Amino acid sequence: MGLFSRKTSQTLLPIRHFIAVIFIFTIILLIVFKVEDISNDTKTVIGHNLQPTPWHIFPVREFKNETRLARTSRIVKCSYLSCLTSSSNGEATFTSEAETCPEFYRWIYHDLEPWAKSRVSYDSLMEAKKFASLRVVIISGRLYVEYYYDCVQSRALFTVWGLLQLLKRYPGSIPDVDIMFDCMDRPIVDKKDHTAMPLPIFRYCTTPDHFDIPFPDWSFWGWVEVNLGPWQEEFKSIKKGSKVTSWDKKFPYAYWKGNPNVLSPIREKLLLCNDTNKWGAQIMRQNWALEIAQGFKNSKLSNQCNHRYKIYAEGYAWSVSLKYILACGSLPLIINPKYEDFFGRGLFPKENYLPISPKNICPSIKTAVEWGNSHPAEAEAIGKAVQDYMEQLSIDRVYDYMYHLITEYAKLQDFKPVRPPAALEECVDSLICYADETQRGFLERSAASPSSTPPCKLPPPNVEMIKKQIEAKNAILNKSELII
Ligand SMILES: *[C@@H]1O[C@H](CO)[C@@H](O)[C@H](O)[C@H]1NC(C)=O
Ligand SMILES: *[C@@H]1O[C@H](CO)[C@@H](O)[C@H](O)[C@H]1NC(C)=O
Ligand SMILES: *[C@@H]1O[C@H](CO)[C@@H](O)[C@H](O)[C@H]1NC(C)=O
């Protein structure tokens, strides 16, 4: 009997073990498959499971280096676990008085005017979704993002980072808001096609013919791919570089350095002006592949302020280069742009820059350079004033612009924003988790801290004033066969 019972327990135990092991194994397998499912479905800030925007195609992103397991665990860790412990930012405590915002902040009302009466309805937002690469929803100071399409390079990462820094800078002050955002270059909501229902979509630039709402671009926090640091660092070093040579020692001709191969007819035409004697211009090709290979030795912006005149030529759409060009303290020669970013609209021709006719680029440059060389004090004064304009546009002011635009936009929503089911929370940790080592360095350098000053005071709406400015500007630009 004793023998029998011993025998039973000896054989039964392994069977029970075996069943338990199978059971646990099945559970693990189910979890693994489920987790894999999740990671194959989860769209991320660095582009996992996302296709390029159909309206601006670029190569599909590949994650060649990651094994399936590494990828799955990264997505679970970064997208689902990073923000669990993040606390809310609390409330702001301001210890000093607010300043007044720069005049050009009035453009916020101008940009939002299409919704001033009709307001932003949920329907118009859902229509705008067709043109959005991502959707940003802020609820009680927390940020949720729904990704629809991939954005080139690290635009999404740095744009979302900028929004998180805004929340950190003004804790408890950002209203609940639901925003459709496109991270690609060109405005898309043509006024002609959408008069009945203007669609609200944020992007980095607009034109007078579009409803698109301009918002500060990613490069204010850094553009890793071309080694441009956060705006506050770049401005400081460019300003320093601009002082190395005095005005009379600066080269007495106009300079442009950039990438002409961006499907920009203006830049292609500009190449033809490359003759300092004939046209007073030097046009240099920026070879990014070479620069990347050589560690960005020759692309330092602070070494590019040795000319009395700097040319701005827009690219495929607006160009982030505008702010660096204006920071140089040289006299800007701006080839009349089609696309406008949020701050460039505050500039006035002949006061802040000399306009160059896109129809007549080389002769216009020549005239401008000749004028400047025969009026050195005036030319230098314009350059200096523009540099001051850019100094005023500190990163703090950039946050203020975001603050006011978002706040004014939120007032127009005629629905209460809620977290969309498919949106994931993003927080500092989730972005740091996804960033590679270089990106992480850039993100950390551009981190904001809570402000002791409230956002600058937005001047009251004056839509008439903006309209008059636009007319006055057009009157000058339309005449500018030759400019002065
Ligand atoms: C991919 O892996 C290789 C070899 O491990 C490494 O040298 C390289 O830097 C990695 N590339 C990226 C983009 O992580
Ligand atoms: C413009 O001319 C300079 C000097 O002649 C030359 O070094 C440069 O490569 C030219 N730029 C382009 C885009 O060809
Ligand atoms: C200037 O030209 C623009 C575009 O061609 C036009 O819409 C505008 O009415 C013109 N303005 C003036 C003052 O001539």
61-71 pLDDT, tens digit per residue, is 998 888 888 99
326 and 408 share one domain: yes
**Which one of the ligands is nearest to 475 CA?**
3
- Tell me how far apart the alpha carbons of residues 177 and 121 are, in angstroms, rounded to a whole number: 12
44 and 192 share one domain: no
168 and 192 share one domain: yes
Name the DSSP letter for residue 356: E
144 and 238 share one domain: yes
pLDDT at 448: 97
103 and 60 share one domain: no
pLDDT at 2: 46
Q: Is the pLDDT of residue 5 over 60?
A: no
Tell me, letter by letter, the H, E, C secondary structure of 38-72: HHHHCCCCCCCCCCECCCCCCCCCCCCCCCHHHHH
Q: Is the dihedral of CA 321, 237, 214, 475 positive or negative?
A: negative
60 and 94 share one domain: no
Q: Is the pLDDT of residue 35 over 90?
A: no
445 and 342 share one domain: yes
Q: How far is the CA of 67 from the centre of ligand 1 (A)?
A: 12
Q: How far is the CA of 262 from the centre of ligand 2 (A)?
A: 18
Q: Is the pLDDT of residue 411 over 80?
A: yes
82 and 131 share one domain: yes
Q: Is the pLDDT of residue 484 over 70?
A: no
Question: Ligand 3 pocket check: which of 469, 470, 478 to mutate, most ligand atoms within 8 Å of Cβ?
Answer: 478
Cα separations (Å) of 356 from 249, 348, 472, 478?
Answer: 24, 13, 16, 11
Residue 179 · residue 407 · CB < 8 Å: no
58 and 144 share one domain: no
Question: Ligand 2 pocket check: which of 253, 268, 284 to mutate, most ligand atoms within 8 Å of Cβ?
Answer: 284
If pLDDT is split at 50, 70 and 90, which confidence band does 480 have?
low
286 and 349 share one domain: yes
Q: What is the pTM of this model?
A: 0.91
pLDDT at 109: 96
Mean pLDDT, residues 48-75: 92
The atom of ligand 3 lying closest to the CA of 477 is 1
Could you read off the pLDDT of 433-443 as tens digits, one per residue? Answer: 999 999 999 99
pLDDT at 428: 97
388 and 452 share one domain: yes
pLDDT at 101: 97
Residue nearest to atom 5 of ligand 3 (CA): 478
Q: Is the CB of 271 under 6 A from ligand 2?
A: yes
Q: Which domain holds residue 59?
A: 2-72
**Domain end (from 29, 53, 72):** 72
- Give me the number of domains the chain comprises: 2
**Domain end (from 44, 72, 100):** 72
Residue nearest to atom 14 of ligand 3 (CA): 475
46 and 91 share one domain: no
Label residues 442-457 b or e (16+ Cβ within 10 Å = b).
Answer: bbeebebeebeebbbe
pLDDT at 483: 56
Helix (H, G, I), strand (E, B) or coil at 114: helix
* Residue % of the chain over a pLDDT of 90: 80
pLDDT at 344: 96
Cα separations (Å) of 428 from 198, 219, 433?
Answer: 34, 18, 8
**Domain end (from 49, 72, 95):** 72
